[in-house]
A and B are shown apart, each in its own frame.
Chain A
């Protein structure tokens, strides 16, 4: 009974999937449908979208189209001549997600909390079943009358007469204060 919401599935796949995928057509390791799988080549520098690695080992797009190549040539000149769209295009060549996009809240906590409450509830049902089918009958020392006899004996012995139980009993009137 897995409770995977769409958001959680997307969260599981987005980081790893995008990091390995790039325009150099390296595929994710699939779950072996017949033997031949393509895996990311871990011996060359890889690209990561990570909060603690601001400059990954290689740019996001490493095979550039003709338009990208001409843009890169233009980047070698003065940057004032670049328009805003060109600057953004250059950013997206080097990086996949911005920090704002990486830090976007995923809503995964809702699934987590939901799962927690569900399983606590289920445990409650298990405990209830246990109370009726597993536990042996009570020992007689837990009966009402036995407990009353115990309290009476404690009062007779003057247990904790200063601040405790016997201090709260009125011995003249024979009742609790």
Chain B
């Protein structure tokens, strides 16, 4: 009936030494994943859109569709 004496001290330190690197690693992985799946494609999408954007053409298209109150569709 002689069991080994259980660990009496350093329990929190042991837990932190194990869990904190994992926590930091996972946080970094989460941030990196978000950056490369969300922010980079979004920046690219915006860059591509504005590369070929003609604002006057878009304006006239919207004007013809009749969504403005300041200008009527061109014509009568």
**Residues of A bordering B, CB below 8 Å:** 153, 156-158, 161-163, 167, 171
Known: A158-B58, A158-B62, A163-B42. A153 touches B67 (CB 8 A): yes
A-B contact list, 19 entries, CB within 8 Å: A153-B67, A156-B62, A156-B65, A156-B66, A156-B67, A157-B62, A157-B65, A157-B67, A158-B58, A158-B61, A158-B62, A161-B49, A162-B45, A162-B46, A162-B49, A163-B42, A163-B45, A167-B49, A171-B61
Interfacial residues, chain B to chain A (CB-CB below 8 A)? 42, 45-46, 49, 58, 61-62, 65-67
Given A158-B58, A162-B49, 17 additional A-B pairs, CB 8 A = A153-B67, A156-B62, A156-B65, A156-B66, A156-B67, A157-B62, A157-B65, A157-B67, A158-B61, A158-B62, A161-B49, A162-B45, A162-B46, A163-B42, A163-B45, A167-B49, A171-B61
Distance, CA A51 to CA B46, complexed state (A): 63
B41's nearest neighbour on chain A, judged by CB, is: A163
Instruction: Enumerate chain A residues within 8 angstroms of B61, measured Cβ to Cβ.
Output: 158, 171
